[in-house]
A and B are shown apart, each in its own frame.
Chain A
Amino acid sequence: MPKSAYSIDNVEEKIERVIIVAWVDNEAGVLARVSGLFSGRGYNIESLAVAQVDEEKNISRITISTNGSKPVIEQIKAQLLKLVPVHKVADYKIDDTSIFKELALCKFKGNDDLLKKAEEICIDFKAEFLDKTPQSFIVQIVNARREIDDFIKKAKPFGLASITRTGPLAMKKGSETIQENKGKVL
């Protein structure tokens, strides 16, 4: 249940991790509106990715990974739809009806020995090598969050010096695309 001064005795609801996607006008301040809505209403942002996806219509797709009980997720979507520059909103539960991918860039540095071991792990995880010097290399890995977590854990002792990650992007499997839902009861 949402927060209210009176709701202290609420039964604990199951919290689930969800990816929320909003299609927005690519205009000044729109990201601040979306992120401000999350912080202002006490919702969590685990990761956030934004980029324009339709140049002609000037639409960006904002992907936010968050968590909350079912009613909270529904309320987040309803509040997002209320923002004027938001066109439609969808949520993707972490299950096998959707694809979730995240990109990480990792820099390794160290002596030959260390880098050799690191290389093996990278090959194991099908990482792509993007840059190499005698003292270092950079790989790119595209996978689900857990896979990347796993990779990082394994690679950490072998000269992993710098990591950057995008957070997940999501897309429904199959031919279905997300329908307009502005102004609708969810």
Chain B
Amino acid sequence: MKVSMTVNGKGVERDVEPRMLLVHFLREELDMTGTKIGCDTSQCGACTVHLDGKALKSCTMLAVQADGADITTIEGLANGDLHVMQESFWENHGLQCGYCTPGMIMSTTALVQDNPNMSEGEIRHQLEGNLCRCTGYHNIVKAVQQASEKMGGGD
């Protein structure tokens, strides 16, 4: 089945099986392997991308469902310079192995765009859809706090 969508500002079109998940479309059809597969059961958030500006677990949507959509992945977040959230993860050492990081960054940029005034407690709560097996979350929370201050309502 034919699908076309915009990925990181660029139009793409492919003929795919209906059962192909969006995450496989990105990783295998487009060779964009920044988006990770952690659990493959909709729990861990490593596969988070933005669909029409909203955070989505891309292992939980078919590529054909995303036909016509505007997708942003971790590869498309930086605009020349790193995105503020990427920079904050770097500066606060918000990662160790880095496997959860693309999903963490896509999830938290969407969260902060919606609400740049989250308290530390709210940030921790809102991270419930993203799992990290390394950091213990403290530095991730610090990174999100720093980015929120800088983003102040939009990026």
Is chain B found bound to chain A in the same assembly? no
Q: What is the interface of chain A, defined by CB distance below 8 A to chain B?
A: none
Q: What is the interface of chain B, defined by CB distance below 8 A to chain A?
A: none
